[in-house]
Structure 1
Amino acid sequence: MNDEVILYTNPQSRGRIARWMLEEAGAPCRTEVLEYGGSMKAPAYLQINPMGKVPAIVHHGEVVTECAAICAYLADAFPQAGLAPLAEECASYYRWLFFAAGPLEAAIIDSKTFGIEPDAKKQTMVGYGSYGAVLDNLSSWFKSHSYVTGERFTAADVYVGSQINWGVQFGTIEKRAEFIDYAQRVTDRDAYRRANEKDDALMEKA
């Protein structure tokens, strides 16, 4: 069976996370670049992702969207890369993968993009509580762990690492020492560099 993964992306998008994961997994890949407001909203792509957003991947005829899901899926689909969690790593792997995809992203968008800070009453209603609580929770983990699962790099670090790295760079996450150290650690990888080179080349062609 053809193991090729089709990546629908734009180099100025979260598609860079999927690209990095594909490089880590060593997955054969064909790239389809979509334009904002154009091919991203065209009927052909909406059949793949009705949200009209990137990234999305197609593998063996099946569609996977959402970056965290793409990372987890590719870790399972290409087990030879060793990026899926070991049995004893599953708890922290899934905990922080979904924490970054849920509370962390929601808190960043609300606080840093929309300028929304829920008051004490509303903090009981939103899943993340408060922006500060989210950062403190994540910070406490990386003060005593090198990676999401402890001392081994996994697919969860592609997603969590991307969120923290971008946040530190663009000022949406506080530049705490543990975040800076973690971001430097996870991005000091050949797969990360290869992924960036490929996406940067696509930007130059645009």
Structure 2
Amino acid sequence: MAARRGITLYHSPASRAFITYWMLEELGVPFRVETVDIRKGQQKSPAYLKLNPSGKVPTLTDGKVVVSETAAICLYLADRYSYGALAPKLEAPARGPYLQWMVYATAVLEPARSLHGAAVPTPPGGWGPGWQPLPQVLDVLQAALKDRDYLLGDRFSTADVMLGATLSMGLLTKEIPEVPVLADYNQRLARRPAYNRAADATWPPDLFARDVLETTS
């Protein structure tokens, strides 16, 4: 399973690879899809582990470049193929908040969603987890999105793909409650054609009910 010329997305149905697929669809760049079905354990094959030793999806190759971890893939694609548009430029005031929300999606929202209600033991040293409980996280997001369409205001960006998809999957699995501000934001995202193409590819309607999703990889 060697890297090919052009962009290849190593993708699985019923996985977080939806986020990267959506990102590629927003960019409108040509890409090919290599299916690595996590339901069949294909992400643990020796060939795939050569690309991604963690045995997770997605992985993306762009010529000789290999990138794993969803946030890293989205940051790479945005800077390479949509710098100044889906990715604010380095000198732009929006660059700071943009990076903040990209990291917040995986470092705060994802663990808060996944571990909500679970007992998280305090590790030696007593520092505790590096994220707030889910209700506080949702308060932060509601405040950020109140009276604005997107995380950066009226401008859609890769931060909306990264954080918005994480939120959307949590709403679909009922792990995140449908508070009005966040539900409205999710509806705006779900009206985007690129979102729907990625959703159809990740959760094909003939195989999956949209309200019953596997989001582990």
What is the TM-score of this pair, normalised by structure 2?
A: 0.82
Going from structure 1 to structure 2, the CA distance change for 1:116 and 1:188 (only over 3 Å counts) comes to: same
Runs of 4+ in 1 over 6 A off after TM superposition: none
1:3·1:28 contact (CA, 8 Å) conserved in 2?
A: no
Match of 2:116 in 1: 111
Could you report, residue by residue, the CA deviation over 1:143-189 in whole angstroms, capped at 9, with x for unpaired residues? 13321111100111111111111112221112111100110112211
Match of 2:137 in 1: 134
Could you report, residue by residue, the CA deviation over 1:52-88 in whole angstroms, capped at 9, with x for unpaired residues? 0100100121111111111111111212792112412
Question: For 2:205 and 2:32, how far apart are their aligned partners in 1?
Answer: 13
Match of 1:32 in 2: 34
Question: For 1:203 and 1:62, how far apart are their aligned partners in 2?
Answer: 34
Counterpart residue identity of residue 52, structure 2: N
Q: How does 1:146-161 map to 2 (within 5 A)?
A: 146-161=149-164
The CA deviation at 1:190 is 1.5
Counterpart residue identity of residue 77, structure 1: R
Question: For 1:49 and 1:203, how far apart are their aligned partners in 2?
Answer: 29
Could you report, residue by residue, the CA deviation over 1:69-123 in whole angstroms, capped at 9, with x for unpaired residues? 11111111212792112412112111111111111111111115xx23678xx99
Question: For 1:157 and 1:3, how far apart are their aligned partners in 2?
Answer: 28
1:71·1:159 contact (CA, 8 Å) conserved in 2?
A: yes
The CA deviation at 1:200 is 4.4
Greater alpha carbon shift after TM alignment, 29-38 vs 54-63: 29-38
Going from structure 1 to structure 2, the CA distance change for 1:46 and 1:179 (only over 3 Å counts) comes to: same
Any unmatched runs of 5+ in structure 2? 208-217
Question: For 1:95 and 1:80, how far apart are their aligned partners in 2?
Answer: 17
The answer on 1:78 being equivalent to 2:107 is: no
Q: How does 1:1-206 map to 2 (within 5 A)?
A: 4-36=6-38, 37-79=40-82, 82-86=85-89, 87-111=92-116, 115-116=118-119, 125-201=128-204
Q: Secondary structure at the match of 2:130?
A: coil
RMSD, matched Cα:
2.4
**Percent identical:** 37
Any unmatched runs of 5+ in structure 1? none
1:123·1:130 contact (CA, 8 Å) conserved in 2?
A: no
Question: For 1:131 and 1:79, how far apart are their aligned partners in 2?
Answer: 32
Greater alpha carbon shift after TM alignment, 132-141 vs 16-25: 132-141
Greater alpha carbon shift after TM alignment, 46-55 vs 123-132: 123-132
Counterpart residue identity of residue 23, structure 1: E
What is the TM-score of this pair, normalised by structure 1?
A: 0.87
Give the length in aligned residue pairs.
199
Going from structure 1 to structure 2, the CA distance change for 1:135 and 1:118 (only over 3 Å counts) comes to: farther
Higher helix share: 1
Going from structure 1 to structure 2, the CA distance change for 1:197 and 1:107 (only over 3 Å counts) comes to: closer
Question: For 2:82 and 2:64, how far apart are their aligned partners in 1?
Answer: 19
